[in-house]
A and B are shown apart, each in its own frame.
Chain A
Amino acid sequence: MKRVASAFAAGLLFGMGLLVSGMTKPTKVIGFLDVAGAWDASLMFVMVGGIAVHLALYKFIVRRPAPLLETEFHLPRQSDIDAKLVLGAAIFGVGWGLGGFCPGPGLTSAVRGGTALVFAVTMAAGMALHAAVTRRKA
């Protein structure tokens, strides 16, 4: 139960951060990605702030033998640069530039309906499609 409550609190804080940062505005996101237009550099600072805080805290956290509410850390173990990584990131970028939403802001904005809700629903469909393709291959 504690694990569920802490995940909920982290999700709430994450969503608040996205809302404060401007990431929930596709106009700003597209303005940030539009280097050839009237470039809006502000969203660069979302990454700066996020990495500064997480980089500083990360090494202290993983020095612990285990997280507070779980028996072990679940960190990505893959380190190879494969075609799936590059192709997947490339496809994601096209979608990000086309719609102006990445996954977090899409979910946080879904309540507004319209394009935000369409994005959240079709993103879920894209993820389910990937799960179906992966299962067929397995």
Chain B
Amino acid sequence: MHPFLSALLGGALVGLSASMLLLLNGRVAGISGIFGGLLAPSQDERAWRGAFVAGLVLAGVAAAALAPQAFDAGPVRSLGATAVAGLLVGFGTRLGNGCTSGHGICGLSRLSVRSLVAVMTFMGTAGVTVYLANHVVGGGQ
């Protein structure tokens, strides 16, 4: 399948999942919010959050066994850079109330100006970071 087509199809499945979670559970499919809610002090809403995350993880387990080509063969960045990346993504998405799914897919579909500002900001800093890592520092290793 052409990469544009598989991206479009994959995106449509994500949009369908977000619609399904909204229709059935009345919830926004923002991954950082759903996962972060499990790590926050309040004990409420743990069951559905845990179930959603379990579904996300299980899709990966199935793909690892049946379609490993869905993943990269090897790492692109060093373990150290990845660890810093994880911390920044975890902290940043909670501070900014959302990530690529919550602001990018759900927020923009709701025509939220807040989400538009967030998307433009994280796309901008992500682009600058990749530029620095790939073309200035070199390889990000």
Residues on A lying within 8 angstroms of B by beta carbon are 3-28, 30, 33-37, 40-55, 57-58, 61-62, 64, 66-70, 72-76, 78-81, 84-104, 106-112, 114-116, 118-131, 135
Contacts and interface: CB of A to CB of B under 8 A. Distances in A.
Taking each of A4, A26, A28, A106, which has the highest tally of chain B beta carbons within 10 Å of its own beta carbon? A106
Contact of A67 (B13, B24, B119, B124): B24
A44 B119 CA distance: 13
Contacts, number: 479
Contacts of B96: 84-92
Taking each of A41, A72, A108, A110, which has the highest tally of chain B beta carbons within 10 Å of its own beta carbon? A108
Nearest to A90: B125
Given A22-B10, A94-B129, A89 B121 contact: yes
A35 B58 CA distance: 33
Nearest to A57: B19
Interface string B49-79: 1011111111111011001001110011111
Q: Is the interface of B mostly helix, strand, loop or mixed?
A: helix
Contacts of A47: 11, 104-105, 108
B108 to A, nearest CB: 5
A101 B51 contact: no
Contact of B55 (A10, A70, A114): A10
